[in-house]
Amino acid sequence: MATPFTKMQALGNDFVLIEENALKKPLTTKQIRFLADRRRGIGCDQLIIFKDSPKADATLAFYNADGSTAQACGNGIRCVAHYLGKDRGTIQTPSFLSTFWKKKNQITVSLRDPTFQGPLHKGHRVNVGNPHLVFFTEDLEEYDLEGLALSFQPARGINVELAQIISPKIIKAKVWERGAGITPACGSGACAVGILGLKLGLIKESPVSIEMPGGSLTVEWAEGKPLFLTGPVEFCYEGIIDIL
């Protein structure tokens, strides 16, 4: 099945975009894993299948590199917003309707209002369309992020972040994404870190800059107000791949 695709990335968090009408039938888990494979397929953290929508500019479905589904992806939404070529609009995700707009090479999207759960061990839980568990530390290198994250899988099925307060406006973070592992950046993870920094009083004022290995994202949030994520995205290339 020869299928056209687009490869995009946001701070190294990379995605393969495929229009649903280009597929003759739904992809199997094996086929999704093939597309995400960096040696045998195209390679990506997530596959995004999108289609036209009567209620938005596009409707998205997210698939992790291991073939599992995801309910939200901040950087993925921003990549699709850039792909659509519009200055502003809306995108329907599996868990919320996102509003987006562009300013030069910066794409801003809205995410779902956060919901908070009780602490888990020494971590703090928040859901912004998908679940996150954030550990604040004085030194990001103090913990083995992958080992820590895997200790909560698969029963918890949760994304895990390590975060370090750098200044009143900056948080440094690393992220482990369920279904993908450690990634250079994560949009919803940045939101989780920024929200909890503000909620816990570790950061006093929004917006907050979240610095990750792939670069920086800006998170804007306050109690009772919308959640916004801003950062750059880049088009990588287009191609056609034979999906067996």
- DSSP H helical segments within 11-136, as ranges? 29-36, 74-84
Instruction: Give the angle subtended at the CA of 10 by the CAs of 164 and 107, to the nearest 5°.
Output: 100
Q: Which whole number is the average pLDDT over 141-159? A: 86
Tokens of 119: 């602490």
Of 183, 174, 166, 163, residue with least CA distance to 75 = 183
pLDDT of residue 210: 98
CA–CA separation, 177 vs 232, rounded Å? 20
Domains: count for the chain: 2
88 with 143, same domain: the answer is no
120 with 225, same domain: the answer is yes
200-227 pLDDT, tens digit each: 999 999 999 999 999 999 999 999 999 9
Q: Which whole number is the average pLDDT over 69-86? A: 96
123 with 216, same domain: the answer is yes
Amino acid at 19: E
122 with 224, same domain: the answer is yes
Amino acid at 103: K
119 with 135, same domain: the answer is yes
80 with 142, same domain: the answer is no
For residue 118, give its domain range.
111-231
Q: Is 0.85 topped by the overall pTM?
A: yes
115 with 36, same domain: the answer is no
116 with 226, same domain: the answer is yes
119 with 218, same domain: the answer is yes
pLDDT class for 120, splitting at 50, 70, 90?
confident
45 with 61, same domain: the answer is yes
97 with 179, same domain: the answer is no
Q: Comparing 154 with 94, which gets the higher pLDDT?
A: 94
State the greatest distance between any 2 C-alpha atoms of the chain, in Å, as a whole number: 53
Active site amino acids: 73, 186
Of 134, 157, 82, 126, residue with least CA distance to 227 = 126
159 with 227, same domain: the answer is yes
pLDDT class for 152, splitting at 50, 70, 90?
confident
* CATH number reported for the structural domain that contains residue 88 in this entry: 3.10.310.10
